[in-house]
Structure 1
Amino acid sequence: MIQLYYSPGTACLAPHFLLEELGLAYELILVDTAKQQHQEAAYLQLNPKGKIPFMIDGDLHLSESAAICLYLIEKYTDTQQATHFNPAPGTAERAQLYQWMLYLSNTLQAELLSYFYPERLSEDAAGAAQVKAHAEQRVASMLSYIDTQLSKTAGNYLLGHELSCADLFLFMLCRWTRGMTKPAREYPHLKPYLQSMFERRSIQDSLAQEGISAPYY
């Protein structure tokens, strides 16, 4: 059985959503980051990076939220049936999926980490405050870009008419903006998109399992 090591509300959410969406059997294992359990020897022996999430599937040990999502769709969906979760390699849909997953993980998520952990980029409180403010401005421009792209899609999702793991990843990151001056839910196209995503059983069940309460996004 798949094991997903998680800390509530962190980057574990996207693979957690996906496990639910695919209907896979899995075990959630809590790693209490508030108690620094991710830095304890037992966890570091499994995952030397000391990060969340971490997944075990048989002999495979895998970290990085986006990598876990891509692995799950490749292993547990059938490309021969052209499932919307796993577009066939070499297709335009597959290229778009890669583009969105890389943009979300390498650009938006990275900037959100600067927003939440500005002290990592500055030696004093005043500098950290400036890093945080500038990160929020850059996140706003990224959300505006995503909002515009949603207005241009043929359907209700990033890839058009069908849900993909990129949508689950985006919902996770948009949730992280809920405390910002202009959170994702206040953009005209992101607002109905996030409400529609939140209504999915996979997302509601995952949030409940992790003990996450409102505001959800």
Structure 2
Amino acid sequence: MKFYYAPGACSMGIHLLLEEAGCSFEAIRLSFAKEEQRSDGFLAVNPKGKVPVLDAGQDGVITEFPAIAFYVASLDPASRLLPGDTMAQVRALELIDHAIATVHMRGFTRLSRPEVFSSDGDPEKVRAAGRTIVGDGLAWMDARLGDAPYALGAFSIADAALFILEWWARRSGLPLPERLSAHLDRMLDRPAVQRMLATEGLAAAA
């Protein structure tokens, strides 16, 4: 398998799941600063021009965080990255969708790339809206986590999505609710996360 990622991007979540599942894969780094995601070579793999991307060989190229996470979980059922209970799976997908589609794409993207949402408006207003979306999303996830060690009680694909939001919040100095902060620390202690960070050349969030 070939896994395409950019250091520190949302692909971190898939990267750590591949490590958790014990998959054999080639990690292919893209530089967003050099706009390698728009290169002809990468667009031939994923015309969407974004990561994460998993070239799963005979199963073909898989894109989009939820789809790749579900696929990786299916490769090693014994790891229980996706629980067997149907409603637990539903809750995992519910959290992932909110994390990626709302908090990431509508919230953090407003903070990092306000021009995407307003080419001629006030970027500070765009960023302010982004901070509200991120804050509301993190508050919901903090309440959803409660006092459990992981999102579904035991580690699952949902925690990979939660991790990237927590990582970005801590790295950017945004308020991180107490239980999410403890969850991030718990994630950083996992060997798979440490291997992912080492491969991507990232230090643990301070």
Do Structure 1 and Structure 2 share a fold, with TM-score over 0.5? yes
Q: Distance in 1 between matches of 2:56 and 2:172?
A: 36
Residue 213 of structure 1 and its aligned partner are, at CA, apart by 2.2
1:105 pairs, out of 100, 106, 113, with 100
Instruction: Answer yes or no: is the 8 Å Cα contact 1:37–1:43 preserved in 2.
Output: yes
2:186 pairs, out of 173, 184, 196, with 196
2:170 partner SS: coil
User: What's the counterpart of residue 122 of structure 1?
Assistant: 118
Q: Distance in 2 between matches of 1:206 and 1:22?
A: 12
Identity over aligned pairs, percent = 30
TM-score (norm 2): 0.91
Q: 1:181 to 1:42 in 2, by over 3 A?
A: closer
1:55 partner SS: strand
User: RMSD across aligned C-alpha pairs, in angstroms?
Assistant: 1.8
The total of aligned residue pairs comes to 204
Q: Distance in 1 between matches of 2:171 and 2:18?
A: 27
- Please list every run of 5 or more consecutive structure 1 residues that lacks an aligned counterpart in the other structure: none
1:133-183 deviation line (CA, Å, top 9, x unaligned): 1110221121111112222x5x311112x1001101111121111254533
User: What's the counterpart of residue 5 of structure 1?
Assistant: 4
- Please list every run of 5 or more consecutive structure 2 residues that lacks an aligned counterpart in the other structure: none
User: What's the counterpart of residue 53 of structure 1?
Assistant: 52
2:27 matches 1:28:
yes
Instruction: Answer yes or no: is the 8 Å Cα contact 1:174–1:183 preserved in 2.
Output: no
User: What's the counterpart of residue 158 of structure 1?
Assistant: 151
1:212 partner SS: coil
Q: Distance in 1 between matches of 2:24 and 2:171?
A: 33
Instruction: Answer yes or no: is the 8 Å Cα contact 2:99–2:137 preserved in 1.
Output: no
2:127 matches 1:132:
yes
Q: Distance in 2 between matches of 1:66 and 1:92?
A: 16
1:132 partner SS: helix
Residue 5 of structure 1 and its aligned partner are, at CA, apart by 0.9
Tell me which structure has the larger Cα radius of gyration.
1
User: What's the counterpart of residue 66 of structure 2?
Assistant: 66
2:178 partner SS: coil
TM-score (norm 1): 0.87
Q: Distance in 1 between matches of 2:32 and 2:9?
A: 10
Instruction: Answer yes or no: is the 8 Å Cα contact 2:110–2:129 preserved in 1.
Output: no
Q: 1:29 to 1:180 in 2, by over 3 A?
A: closer
